[in-house]
């Protein structure tokens, strides 16, 4: 039996490498370069949209999301980035400073 197991080397499954998608290319938006999506942006956009729906107008500044209790605090953007409201899509994005 041992000889039979050693004589069939091609029967094992070979691991299949998972394809890795390249990071998305930066897109232009209103003269500022949009960097990437961030989990904090998802929460920030959800709070922004909820504020707008309930207050019937967008917040004058992002800090209003905290003062009106839509968020406990604003996320801190990564170094060299800042939050920007894209008025065409009405979404908060990260852009280069």
Tens-place pLDDT, residues 17-45 = 554 444 444 444 444 444 445 668 999 99
Q: Give the separation between CA 85 and CA 61, rounded to whole angstroms.
A: 9
Q: Give the separation between CA 7 and CA 20, rounded to whole angstroms.
A: 35
In a domain, 73, yes or no: yes
What's the rounded mean pLDDT across residues 58-79? 93
pLDDT at 22: 44
Residues of the chain by 3-state class (helix, strand, coil), percent to 5: 30, 20, 50
In a domain, 51, yes or no: yes
Beta pairing class for 91-96 and 81-86: antiparallel
Q: Give the separation between CA 23 and CA 21, rounded to whole angstroms.
A: 6
Quote the pTM value. 0.58
In a domain, 17, yes or no: no
- Domain range spanning residue 84? 47-97
In a domain, 63, yes or no: yes
pLDDT at 88: 82
Q: How many domains does the chain have?
A: 1
pLDDT at 27: 42
In a domain, 85, yes or no: yes
In a domain, 36, yes or no: no
């Amino acid at each position: 039996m041992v000889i039979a197991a050693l004589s069939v080397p091609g029967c094992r499954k070979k691991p299949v490498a998972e394809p890795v998608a390249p990071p998305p290319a930066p897109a232009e938006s209103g003269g500022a370069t949009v960097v990437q999506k961030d989990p904090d942006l998802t929460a920030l956009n959800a709070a922004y949209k909820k504020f707008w729906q309930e207050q019937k107008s967008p917040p004058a500044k992002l800090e209003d999301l905290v003062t009106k209790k839509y968020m406990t605090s604003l996320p801190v953007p990564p170094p060299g980035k800042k939050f920007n409201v894209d008025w065409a899509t009405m979404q908060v994005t990260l852009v280069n400073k």
